[in-house]
Amino acid sequence: MPRVLLYVHPAQREEIYLRAIAETAVECDVVHSFADYFAAGRGGSYNGLLLDIVSSIRATGADREVIKNLLEVYPSLRLRYDPASEEIRTLMTGAGSGQKITIEQFIDTYCRSFPARGLRLYKRKPIHCNVLYSLYGDMPDEESTRSVTIDLSEGGCFIYTIERLAVGTCLWLSFVELMDNSPIYVRVCWSREWGHSMNIPGIGLQFLEIDSGQRDEIAAILAGSSAGELPG
């Protein structure tokens, strides 16, 4: 049975969300504060993440940083309860503008097929690496796109692109600066489309298959960078 994590501050809408989630065949853990969650020694493996929009906006800086990390790893659905219509409105980043998806559809479509992962968090840094990405493992020049990372962690990265790529899409990613720049298999975990906000558009990628040597190189870049760019 899938297991999801619900981030919501204590309020009436928490019970409303839980009633809706209870209608699906899924287990759910509720988090009001990630500081309290980790301090209590809680943990587990999850197939997806549900975020109350109001709570995430009002979250502490520490909680927002955790949420950013989790968005790189898990299928994620944002929730907002509308008292006027008594409906739960949803937003799945990268699902396409205007696309509606219920909690049940999200769990059935994205969470059941996503391998459960523990809450392993990676520190993100604003490091800018030259990268190429492609839908093809052999990465032919004509089918590869040039880009750059906006931020980087040991578990994934956010890269600039104006191309619309759906959440769940798998790609091959090559870091030009790595000594071993062979393609890394990645999955699109979230996206920010061009023109929807005054932020850099792009996609959040999770490393699915990466050689230990490549992971060590990335760890060294992260450890050696204090200014947000590659050490020169």
Domain assignments of the chain as residue spans, ordered by start? 3-118, 130-224
Beta-strand relationship, 27-31 and 76-82: unpaired
**Edge-to-edge strand order for the sheet containing 48-52?**
27-31, 3-7, 48-52, 76-82, 87-91
Q: What is the DSSP letter of 111?
A: I
CA separation for the pair 176, 129 (Å, rounded): 7
Domain 130-224: which CATH class?
Answer: mainly beta
Distance CA 171, CA 185 (A): 6
pLDDT of residue 65: 82
Domain 3-118: top CATH class: alpha beta
Domains 3-118 and 130-224 share a fold: no
pLDDT score at 11: 81
Cα–Cα distance, 98 to 180 (Å, whole number) = 41
What average pLDDT values come out for the chain (232 residues) when binned by 10 residues?
93 91 93 82 84 94 85 88 93 60 92 83 84 96 96 91 90 97 91 85 90 93 63 32
pLDDT at 201: 93
Q: Are the CB atoms for 17 and 52 separated by under 8 Å?
A: yes
- Burial string for 55-86 (b: 16+ CB within 10 Å, else e) reads bbeebeeebeebbbbbbbbbbbbbbebeeeee
